Amino acid sequence: MNWTALTSEEQLQEIITESEKAPVMIFKHSTRCSISSMSLNRLERSWSEAEMPGIKTFYLDLIAYRSISSQIAQLFHVEHESPQAILIHHGKSVWDASHYDIQYDSIKKVVASN
């Protein structure tokens, strides 16, 4: 996967802008949580750039950038969870999941329908 590190609140505006063209995914990861590591690994192993053309993916290290996670929750009206995947399209959250519910096939279905 081609992750873009999410390290500043200013990038949230970039995500909104990018989401006008195609869905954008944010993956919120706790580097101290084994479930988060497993979810990230499973997602990365399943991800196919050919099946997800034009989808930009952002990676947020929750330990280092907790305040950005709070901004995401407020801006996109999603409850904070960890790990968490959120799809943004047209500036709004169209899907989110956490823990074992983060499934590549679910993401693919939502992307196909948007």
- CATH number of 106's domain: 3.40.30.10
**Distance (Å, whole) CA 90 – CA 22:** 8
pTM of the model: 0.95
Q: Are 86 and 72 in contact (CB under 8 A)?
A: yes
Distance of CA 85 to the CA centre of its chain: 4
On average, the pLDDT of the chain sits at 95
pLDDT score for 76:
96
Mean pLDDT of 80-107: 96
Domain residues for the domain of 25 are: 3-113
Checking if the pLDDT of 97 tops 90, the result is yes
Beta bridge partners of 26: 58, 86
Checking if the pLDDT of 1 tops 90, the result is no
pLDDT score for 54:
87
- Give 7-47 pLDDT, tens digit per residue: 999 999 999 999 999 999 999 999 999 999 999 999 999 99
Domain count, the chain: 1
Checking if the pLDDT of 101 tops 90, the result is yes
pLDDT score for 87:
97
**Distance (Å, whole) CA 110 – CA 4:** 21
pLDDT score for 70:
93
